[in-house]
Structure 1
Amino acid sequence: MSVAAPGRIALAIVWFVLSAAGLVGTWAFNIAFFADPGGLSYLGGWFANPASSSAAVDVIVVALAACVFMVAEGARLGWIRWVWVLVPLSFAIAIAFTFPLFLGLRELALRRRAEALPGSSAA
């Protein structure tokens, strides 16, 4: 195993934990909203006041940037066939779920790539 492998595994675990937290955290609130929308549409709630509008624009811009990064990095890693699935899932489920998931999978791929290099001390 390479020297960097434990660090990459630990970081991948952090990303996967954040992904799970993003899934549970966002959908706990989504389910609560759909149970009682309080007269608002879903997107209407995003833009209900200046504070929520600011947060909504913040999330939308970061989500778009993350999607561009996932597609570009996915192409670089040779994942272009399946990485596109994460783009619609980012908006249908949550970017807080898909982006850390992508980063965790990326760490594992970078670890495998490093271990395959000549001179690697992979076990």
Structure 2
Amino acid sequence: MTRFWTPLAVLYLVLALAGLVGTWWFNALAVIEMADFLGDLVTSGPAVSSITVDLLVAAVAGSVFIIVEARRLGMRAGWLYVAASALTAFAFTFPLFLAMRQRRLTALALAPVTRVEN
């Protein structure tokens, strides 16, 4: 079960868990307070709007990276990380993808090299 879990993959996994817990804590708080979550993102002043745009652009770029990199490495269902970010948080799914990507890179590096003889 611990096969291919490098220290870097574990670090990404820890960041994914921090992203999940941190974002859902505030999501739950917004629900308890019956806050207008989406309205607050864009109407709470220029600083909040700036951070929102910053993170949104980074999330879109990261989503493109996830899909392209998953295909390049032969990882199945890369799109699922992007879809899951709508239900959880990109702060969770992106580091989770990076952890799984690191595991895949390690597995590929340790795979026996097969040569084709002509």
Check whether TM > 0.5: yes
Task: Report sequence identity in percent.
Answer: 42
Which residue in the other structure is 2:59 paired with?
63
Conservation of the 8 A alpha-carbon contact between 1:22 and 1:94: yes
In 2, distance between residues paired with 1:61 and 1:91?
15
**RMSD after superposition:** 1.9
Where does the alignment leave 5 or more consecutive residues of structure 2 unmatched?
none
Q: Which amino acid aligns with 1:71?
A: I
| Aligned structure 1 segments of 4 or more residues deviating by more than 2 angstroms | none
In 2, distance between residues paired with 1:78 and 1:104?
15
User: TM-score normalised to the size of structure 2?
Assistant: 0.87
Q: How many residues align?
A: 111
In 1, distance between residues paired with 2:45 and 2:34?
16
Q: Deviations over 1:28-66 (max 9, x none)?
A: 00000111034xx21111112111101100110010001
Which residue in the other structure is 1:50 paired with?
46
Q: Which amino acid aligns with 2:23?
A: T
In 2, distance between residues paired with 1:111 and 1:117?
12
Q: Which amino acid aligns with 1:56?
A: T
- Per-residue deviation, 1:69: 0.1
